[in-house]
Amino acid sequence: MSQKHLIKKYNIPGPRYTSYPTVPFWDNNTFSLKQWKHSVKQVFSQSNVAEGISLYIHLPFCESLCTFCGCNKRITKRHEVESPYITAILKEWDLYCELFDEKPIIKELHLGGGTPTFFSPLNLNRLINGITRKAILADNYEFSFEGHPNNTTEAHLLTLFNLGFKRVSFGVQDYNDAVQKAIHRIQPFKNVKRVTEMARTIGYTSVGHDIIFGLPFQTVDHIRETIAKTRQLKPDRIAFYSYAHTPWIKGNGQRGFNENNLPKAEEKRLQYEIGKVLLADAGYSEIGMDHFALPNDSLYTAMTNQKLHRNFMGYTASKTKMMIGLGVSSISDSWYGFSQNVKGIEEYYHLLEYNIIPVFRGHILNEEDLVIRQHILNLMCHYKTSWSNNNLTFKSLDSTINKLSEMLKDELVVIENNTLKITKQGKPFVRNVCMAFDVLLQEKQPQKQLFSMTI
The answer on whether 194 is annotated among ligand-binding residues is no
**Residues forming a β-bridge with 169:** 146, 208
The answer on whether 97 is annotated among ligand-binding residues is no
d(Cα 389, Cα 28) in Å, to the nearest integer? 31
Nearest CA to 203 out of 232, 150, 167 is that of 167
H/E segment holding residue 242: strand 237-242
CA distance to 144, 232, 312, per residue, from 56 (Å): 10, 31, 9
The answer on whether 173 is annotated among ligand-binding residues is yes
The answer on whether 255 is annotated among ligand-binding residues is no
d(Cα 300, Cα 81) in Å, to the nearest integer? 38
- The answer to whether 124 and 325 are in contact (CB under 8 A) is no
The answer on whether 331 is annotated among ligand-binding residues is yes
DSSP state of 391: G
Nearest CA to 204 out of 233, 166, 234 is that of 166
The answer on whether 114 is annotated among ligand-binding residues is yes
What sign results for the dihedral spanned by CA atoms 399, 405, 407, 413?
positive
CA distance to 144, 429, 435, 446, 452, per residue, from 13 (Å): 31, 12, 10, 11, 5
**Residues forming a β-bridge with 113:** 59
The answer on whether 115 is annotated among ligand-binding residues is yes
The answer on whether 68 is annotated among ligand-binding residues is yes
List, as one string, the DSSP characters of 209-222.
Answer: EEEEES-TT--HHH
**What SS3 class is residue 416?**
strand
The answer on whether 185 is annotated among ligand-binding residues is yes
- The residues, ordered by sequence, that sit 6+ positions from 66 with a Cβ below 8 Å of its Cβ are 173, 183, 184, 185
The answer on whether 423 is annotated among ligand-binding residues is no
CA distance to 148, 227, 298, per residue, from 195 (Å): 9, 17, 21
d(Cα 440, Cα 422) in Å, to the nearest integer? 22
- The answer to whether 76 and 20 are in contact (CB under 8 A) is no
The answer on whether 69 is annotated among ligand-binding residues is yes
The answer on whether 256 is annotated among ligand-binding residues is no
d(Cα 61, Cα 58) in Å, to the nearest integer? 9
d(Cα 222, Cα 278) in Å, to the nearest integer? 13
The answer on whether 275 is annotated among ligand-binding residues is no
d(Cα 274, Cα 88) in Å, to the nearest integer? 45
d(Cα 211, Cα 196) in Å, to the nearest integer? 14
Conformation bin of residue 335: beta by default, left when phi > 0, alpha when psi is -120 to 50: left
Residue positions forming the annotated binding site for [4Fe-4S] cluster: 62, 66, 69
Residue positions forming the annotated binding site: 56, 62, 66, 68-70, 113-115, 146, 173, 185, 210, 244, 331
Residue positions forming the annotated binding site for S-adenosyl-L-methionine: 56, 68-70, 113-115, 146, 173, 185, 210, 244, 331
